Amino acid sequence: MFVKRILIAAAALSYLGFLAVLGAAYFIGLKQASAWPPAGSGKAIDDKDLPKVEKNIQQLEKRLSGLLPKGLYIVIDTAENRLYVKNGKEVVRTAVVSCGSGVVLEEPGGKQRKWVFDTPRGEFSVKSKITNPYWVKPDWAFIEEGESIPKGLEDRIEAGTLGDYALGFGQGYFIHGTLYTRLLGRNVTHGCVRVGDDDLKAIFKSVPIGAKIYIY
């Protein structure tokens, strides 16, 4: 009986101790939260400096908007598989596209090369515009199919796969057409951006060489 009482008292004391510690933790937390917004942030400005600060803000906003690309440019959302042609802040055209699948291809045997089929992200520009493009199949296209890699260039050339137009943006990546229009909107490519025929034609006709491309 005595031991039982001791145990109950110990349990009660432990519980009260836990509550006290938790209370202290909440007290500290509340104290920290009441210091928000932090005292250091947004120090008040002297009255005499006010016009200078306002002018500085206007200049910064102007400089920031000056960083936007001039003329038409392309923005590609690889998650949503959407391409936007924009002029300033205005969206001129929206297209459903297919971006990289994110798949990794590992070469079997000797060389054991590896390819990651991602659409590259970052700031690019239109480097070339090609009508009726041919696809010069790279090594991975043969490895993926389990075929041997040809030695002659003529065995690598394939017509019709890339659609009627292609816009190159460097490192072998293109915005081009597709035969697999049912898969537009899905991540299925080897890194290039596939676009439907009508959208591709409109993009090709309107976007000049040198136009910026933002892929995110």
Partner 1 sequence: MTKTRRLSALLVAGLVCLGSAAGTDKAGLAKKQSSLISEYSLAKDSNFYFVLDVLGRKLELRVRGMVLRSWPFQSMRFWGRPEFSGDVELIQKTALKAPKRIVIKPGGEPEKAEPAPAPPANPAEFDLDALEVKDMPKKFSLDFDNGLHIVIKSKKAASAGFLGALREIWGWYVDLPLRNLFGPHTGAGLSELELTFDNEKDGQSIYWHFFEGIKGIVL
Q: Does 122 bind partner 1 (CB under 8 A)?
A: yes
When binding is defined by CB under 8 A, the residue of 3, 44, 153, 159 that contacts partner 1 is 44
For 101, what's the count of Cα atoms within 13 Å in the CB-facing half-sphere? 9
Range 178-197, binding partner 1 (CB under 8 A): 182-188
Residue 48: CB minimum distance to partner 1, A: 12
When binding is defined by CB under 8 A, the residue of 4, 5, 89, 151 that contacts partner 1 is 89
User: Do the beta carbons of residue 206 and residue 85 sit within 8 Å?
Assistant: yes
Residue 201: CB minimum distance to partner 1, A: 22
When binding is defined by CB under 8 A, the residue of 30, 91, 136, 179 that contacts partner 1 is 30
Using CB under 8 A as the binding criterion, the count of chain residues that bind partner 1 stands at 66
Q: Does 145 bind partner 1 (CB under 8 A)?
A: yes
Q: Does 80 bind partner 1 (CB under 8 A)?
A: yes
Q: How many CB atoms lie within 10 A of CB 76?
A: 23
Report H helices in 35-168: 50-65, 139-144
Q: Does 143 bind partner 1 (CB under 8 A)?
A: yes
Q: Compute the distance between CA of residue 22 and CA of residue 57 in angstroms, rounded to an integer.
A: 46
- To the nearest 10°, report the CA torsion of 144, 147, 148, 154: -90
Residue 23: CB minimum distance to partner 1, A: 9
User: Do the beta carbons of residue 117 and residue 100 sit within 8 Å?
Assistant: yes
Q: Does 19 bind partner 1 (CB under 8 A)?
A: no
CA distances in angstroms from 166 to 34, 74, 174, listed in the order given:
58, 14, 6
Q: Compute the distance between CA of residue 72 and CA of residue 210 in angstroms, rounded to an integer.
A: 10
Q: For residue 178, what is the DSSP state?
A: -
Q: Does 20 bind partner 1 (CB under 8 A)?
A: no
Q: Does 17 bind partner 1 (CB under 8 A)?
A: no
Binding site for partner 1 (CB under 8 A): 21-22, 24-26, 28-30, 32-38, 40-45, 50, 53-54, 56-57, 60-61, 63-65, 67-69, 75, 77-80, 89, 101-109, 116, 121-123, 143-146, 182-188, 214, 216
